[in-house]
Structure 1
Amino acid sequence: MKTALLLFTILFSFSIYGQELTGVYVKDFDLNDGKTLIRTLDLKDDGTFTFHNFRKNFSIDKTKKSTYGKGTWRQDKKIITFFTDKETDIDEKYTLDFNETKARFHSKNPRDKSDRVILPSLTFFESNIPILENFKVFKK
């Protein structure tokens, strides 16, 4: 009985932590010279994700450009590891390969009772995608 109760408690705590992690993360820049950059990462409950990188007015011809990525993610403590299956996740639209991409989850510690506001965020610290290296997105 004690073992079953312990197992239930552990599984329940992991499910609560996972729910805190899922959601939409965004970082947007509106630069003074008319340039716009928006990066959106959507972590879903089923272990999948989508990523959208939108750029406007970054090239000489002042065009809009979007790049996309999708795949699966796995959590190990506060580290999120992303995976892309090259056969099913990469096509004409979804061109970014997230294999070997890792991010660290940041949030306010539940034991921290101060008035300090810490927005949940992800900081990418390892990636083969140059735009993600040392990049931080905030949960909406």
Structure 2
Amino acid sequence: MKTNPMKTIFTILILISNLTLFSQVDKVIGDYQSSVRTKKGDLIEWKLTLNENGTFFFQYYSNDKFQVPSEKNIYGKGTWTMENNVISFFSDKQKDIDEKNTLDFTNSKARFITKPTKNKTDQIIITRLQFLKSDIFWMAKTEILKI
């Protein structure tokens, strides 16, 4: 039985591209966190977990001495997908939004930034997510570092 060489090459290329895609997604999975302490001593923290099963959990924490209440925790959860290093977030209003998880991440997108494997220089590139857009106004342009 003869095999078509073009068919074999095409199949190999598809398998290689799928492996590359999965390895990139594997790099994204994990915990992200950033925090800022103001000159007044106030603290703001963002924590995000991207799970292997395509779900995420987010926590925003702030401790502002001049607000009542001074401590605030806001949560969100939902699902995520990745295409071309851009992560899209979705929150199902019936399943993901409740009394505790009030943030709706639908329409939020973040770029996954990491040092390319081809970059063999000493350049340090911190692995992070940079939010490009979000209906949550304070999330747009936020960067969260992978820990």
Q: TM-score normalized by structure 2?
A: 0.89
Where do residues 1-140 of structure 1 align in structure 2 (5 Å cutoff)? 1-61=8-68, 63-140=70-147
Q: What's the offset of the Cα at 1:111?
A: 1.1
Q: Residue deviations 1:26-71, cap 9 Å, x none? A: 1101223120111001111111101000001254346211000000
Larger radius of gyration: 2
Percent of aligned pairs sharing the same letter:
31
Unaligned runs of 5+ in 1: none
Equivalent residues, number? 140
Q: Indicate the larger mover: 51-60 or 71-80.
A: 51-60
Other structure's SS at 2:26 match: helix
Distance 1:48 1:42 in 2: 8
Q: Which amino acid aligns with 1:25?
A: Y
